[in-house]
């Protein structure tokens, strides 16, 4: 970190600043579950890109497990991609602030159900996308998200079979509640993020994004069995219930080209 490490973070706002530069990616994010846990900042710091530090709320860093459906993906001015532009996705993410005070998201993993977008994002954007079997099932007042990674896998150790490939899974079912969330400082801190920090080698770039204010509701946890957060470098976190659980029906969003 350089001598500007002490620059205070920008104020948290549920209203996005004007997008710097023209939009290069547009998407719709729908039916999102925002599950978050408190973690110690010192556990998060080694997992962040160069030039960033943990962003904290109430003395804690936070890790998010966020499944949703991505659709209407496009690269303006071209129209939305009809097949490869719609798929289920699950993110494990952390929260960062850089030497300019810009608050952002750091993705530790992004599971996606389409191989072509996974390869495109890994190669073109430097994002840690993973190819997975995923489903979102809605009914009876609940939403169930399930994912099983297909690629890449790791070599693990089986008690009987010796060395074998292992792939993380995640299953979460929530029940959105009628209570809307407006003006909640923690909810805004976790969801009102206007950029992502992405490391490529020794460099970190900041991709700004813009969308309307999140329509948020409280949610009740019905079921959770997750391995993704542990695989992302934070074992044991999802062994307990989330410290915050929210639901959103979704927003349209756009990204501009990155800045260093």
Residue 260 pLDDT: 61
Residue 217 pLDDT: 98
Residue 3 pLDDT: 40
CATH architecture assignment, domain 24-256: Beta Barrel (2.40)
Residue 35 pLDDT: 99
Residue 201 pLDDT: 82
What ranges do the domains of the chain cover? 24-256
Structure pTM?
A: 0.93
Could you report the per-residue pLDDT of 121-144, keeping only the tens digit for each? Answer: 999 899 999 999 999 999 999 999
Q: What is the pLDDT along the chain (260 residues), one digit of tens a residue?
A: 444 466 899 999 999 999 988 999 999 999 999 999 999 999 999 999 999 999 999 999 999 999 999 999 998 989 888 867 899 999 999 999 999 999 999 999 999 999 999 999 999 899 999 999 999 999 999 999 999 999 998 766 555 445 667 899 999 999 999 999 999 999 999 999 999 999 988 899 999 999 999 999 999 999 999 999 999 999 999 999 999 999 999 999 999 999 76
Q: What's the sign of the alpha-carbon dihedral 126, 130, 131, 136?
A: negative
Residue 162 pLDDT: 52
Residue 103 pLDDT: 97
């Amino acid at each position: 970190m350089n001598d500007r490490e002490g620059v205070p973070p920008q104020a948290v706002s549920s209203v996005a600043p004007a997008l710097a530069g023209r939009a290069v990616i547009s998407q719709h994010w729908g039916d999102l579950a925002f599950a978050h846990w408190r973690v110690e900042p010192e556990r998060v710091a080694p997992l962040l890109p160069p030039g960033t530090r943990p962003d904290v709320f109430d003395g804690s860093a936070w890790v998010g497990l966020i499944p949703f459906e991505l659709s209407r993906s496009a690269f303006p001015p071209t129209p939305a991609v009809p097949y490869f532009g719609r798929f289920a996705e699950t993110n494990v993410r952390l929260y960062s602030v850089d030497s300019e005070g810009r608050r952002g998201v750091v993705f530790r993993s992004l599971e996606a159900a389409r191989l072509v977008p996974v390869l495109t994002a890994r190669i073109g954007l430097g994002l840690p996308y993973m190819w997975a079997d995923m489903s979102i099932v809605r009914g009876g007042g609940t939403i169930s998200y399930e994912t099983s990674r297909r690629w890449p896998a790791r070599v693990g150790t089986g008690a009987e079979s010796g060395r074998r490939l292992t792939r993380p899974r995640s299953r979460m079912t929530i029940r959105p509640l009628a209570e809307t969330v407006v003006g909640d400082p923690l909810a805004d801190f976790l969801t009102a993020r206007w950029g992502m920090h992405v490391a490529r080698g020794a460099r970190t770039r900041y991709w700004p994004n813009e969308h309307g204010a999140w329509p948020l509701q409280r949610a009740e946890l019905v079921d959770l069995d997750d391995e993704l957060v542990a695989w992302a470098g934070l074992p044991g976190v999802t062994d307990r219930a989330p410290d915050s659980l929210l639901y959103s029906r979704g927003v349209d969003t756009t990204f501009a080209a990155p800045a260093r």
